[in-house]
Structure 1
């Protein structure tokens, strides 16, 4: 069965909003994954020029946010001397500021400072490991985490490196990049578009046939209802360990970590999808809800009026739990 999620409010659509034209599709690789942009090009903009602008912007973001590029601003912060306050470039500070707000709101279920744990369990730049780390090693890595230690200062756009703190923005950077590309396209006159990076998406405006950008949510590997969302000035992000897992000594371990325990989460959740105006916010919140689990995640979504779908394993297949805000969108 197909289920539709349609936003409750729509931007005004004038008689000449989208009439005729064709959808161009371009794409490539970034942030260790793929990107694609579907858009209606304005008559005075060359598609190749827009592609070049996108590539330049993605290169700029990688140079600030990547934990895989040794010379990125993020990696330089990770190596900064203990006790130093470091000025941060615009994108890195913006993402960290949002990440810390979500970390605080979620009670630490999301944390952008898990780099040491990510590396320890074999999901970071040092590469895979053969078995789960020892308790002592986990405790040592946990001692080098903690978003509140960053002590962000908006006046100087800086953060404190207390010593050994390792940023990892893989749970929010792609969403931010989606938002940035959407704003770039809008500024270039391509107001009707769908941007995707690694499965995180943002749609704006309409297709030439005046339909919204319909996107099917990821099925997450089990027989389930097809869920399709109309991304009309909305973003969608999904978190789930189906995307990346390692076999450590016969134990399948996912890449979503509980920042409070130092272990990958062990849950019956298949994944969490969040629908939000900001893809950056949706990206981080999907991770936070994955860590919180079905019951606490549902309560958090309800209390914060989040539109989300939590998909878990039931006795006869998958179970979809829609938050009240998402239920209002169901058709």
Structure 2
């Protein structure tokens, strides 16, 4: 069976093998409850979300956070530390400035002074988390953006929700991020083709998602052109500028879709050389799609046999 819909500004699809007591209505309700939770906790577009309340909090305020959001922030901060800030959950001022956030698109390039001013408010080191109280300190002017991890988190939660209602064989997709569990009735796993930019060189890669997730960061999805240069939606938090066109897409396979989603963004920012070094050091299954070919990490090559 299959269901589909819209959430978080994108589409979702679920394919599943359902027991007799789990009809489409039950499955849809479980899935939509998950997405409602993610929006209520982590949306930058929903003014009443826990994330937006933190962003609006006065300097010196300690905000108690929902358990899920707090766990996502812990993961994001740990990855920021491991990648030298290539991903940063406090990047919202730059995302908004470049026209990729809730304020909407822009039609010109920000001035250097505006970029520097927004960049001054970015820094994951300023995000102080208190695990005992499940709280975060708002030091003043800190704004969170979890668009590089929230879809993957939603996929993981949806997969758990399906398993909890007895649907152990399923494929969940939200905005291109996927997770597969179990096998289809014919005994085959959930085979998916890794996403590639239009016109990309290199063969199609198929992977079996059996207890595995896949996420792709693609700079061809959202961008604008000005003065002969393309500005992509992936912002380098270290510089304040969108990343260059050197890496059209990065795909990561991981047991956690949340981890794969965040890593795909971080590795896109790091670029093919530093990103591949990171993938090798951490035994990550990664595919870099470059303008003139592809580069697979050793872990991904081993999966292909």
TM-score (norm 2): 0.97
Counterpart position of 1:82: 59
Counterpart position of 1:190: 167
User: Aligned-pair distance for 1:196?
Assistant: 0.3
User: Aligned-pair distance for 1:267?
Assistant: 3.6
Contact 1:201 1:235 in 2 (8 A): yes
Please state whether the residue corresponding to 2:156 is helix, strand or coil: helix
Q: Which stretch has the larger CA shift, 206-215 or 53-62?
A: 53-62
User: Aligned-pair distance for 1:180?
Assistant: 0.1
Structure exhibiting the larger radius of gyration computed from Cα positions: 1
User: Aligned-pair distance for 1:186?
Assistant: 0.5
Counterpart position of 1:324: 298
Counterpart position of 2:287: 309
User: Aligned-pair distance for 1:251?
Assistant: 3.1
Q: Does 1:125 align with 2:102?
A: yes
- 1:170-195, Cα deviation, whole Å (9 max, x unpaired): 00000000000000001110000000
| Rounded Cα–Cα distance in structure 2 between residues aligned with 1:263 and 1:45 | 48
- 1:194-227, Cα deviation, whole Å (9 max, x unpaired): 0000000000010110100000011211243000
- Aligned residue pairs, count: 304
Where do residues 141-220 of structure 1 align in structure 2 (5 Å cutoff)? 141-220=118-197
Contact 1:132 1:249 in 2 (8 A): no
Large movers: runs of 4+ above 4 Å: none
Q: Does 1:51 align with 2:25?
A: no
Contact 1:267 1:293 in 2 (8 A): no
Where do residues 5-154 of structure 1 align in structure 2 (5 Å cutoff)? 24-154=1-131
Counterpart position of 1:258: 236
Counterpart position of 1:290: 268
Gaps in structure 2 of 5+ consecutive residues: none
User: Aligned-pair distance for 1:49?
Assistant: 1.2
TM-score (norm 1): 0.90
Please state whether the residue corresponding to 2:3 is helix, strand or coil: strand
User: 1:281 is matched with which residue: 259, 266, 275?
Assistant: 259
| Rounded Cα–Cα distance in structure 2 between residues aligned with 1:42 and 1:100 | 39
Q: Which stretch has the larger CA shift, 229-238 or 56-65?
A: 56-65
User: Aligned-pair distance for 1:131?
Assistant: 1.3
Please state whether the residue corresponding to 1:148 is helix, strand or coil: helix
RMSD across aligned C-alpha pairs, in angstroms? 1.1
